[in-house]
Amino acid sequence: MAANFTIRTAIESDQPVIKDLIHEAGINPLGLHWSRFLVAVNQEGTVVGCGQVKLHRDGSRELASLAVARVWRRRGIAGEIIRALQQKHEAPLWLTCMDQLVSFYQPFGFVRIESAAEMPAYFQRIFRLFKLFQAVTRVKGQLALMVWHSKRGNNL
């Protein structure tokens, strides 16, 4: 399939559409600052996807806020955003996702972490909070933590 989008660094005027994409995808709306984002833009100049890397207090960096407009999904946009973020940022990059998405991230070199002892402090807290949230809301599935250690071996 021919690429009908490009990836670029976000600009301030992209902030509202980034928020809209995150809302539409139903993912964590916290920590959305346009300056950390890369966006996918279609041929008309419309932002159709986004992703960022967040820096946490413990020094860990998280690939986060990966979202693609519903009508633009399954065209390789999310994968291109992931690859561009990996090229832009040093390893390790961490991410959280629901367990059914683990296989989506594996081709990009992300490996699931099972042991809390291997998790940075930020993610240890997230997993404790998720368990509490899950107990109260009965959310199905498990939260997975994955890490990317290097460009070697990735399908970049």
Answer whether residue 15 is part of any domain. yes
Domain that holds residue 21: 5-148
pLDDT tens digits along 46-95 = 999 999 999 999 999 999 999 999 999 999 999 999 999 999 999 999 99
**Pair of tokens at residue 144:** 């997975």
Answer whether residue 140 is part of any domain. yes
Using the structure block, give the residue that is written with the tokens 């807290």. 125
Burial class (CB in 10 A: 0-12, 13-18, 19+), 145: buried
**Pair of tokens at residue 96:** 């959280």
How many structural domains are present in the chain? 1
From the CB of residue 102, how many other CB atoms can be counted at a distance below 10 Å? 16
Answer whether residue 153 is part of any domain. no
The 3-state DSSP composition of the chain as helix, strand, coil percent (nearest 5) reads 40, 30, 30
Answer whether residue 155 is part of any domain. no
The CATH code of the domain that includes 14 is: 3.40.630.30
pLDDT tens digits along 111-149 = 999 888 899 999 999 988 888 887 788 777 888 999 999
pLDDT of 142: 86
Q: Determine the length of the chain.
A: 156
Answer whether residue 134 is part of any domain. yes
From the CB of residue 144, how many other CB atoms can be counted at a distance below 10 Å? 19
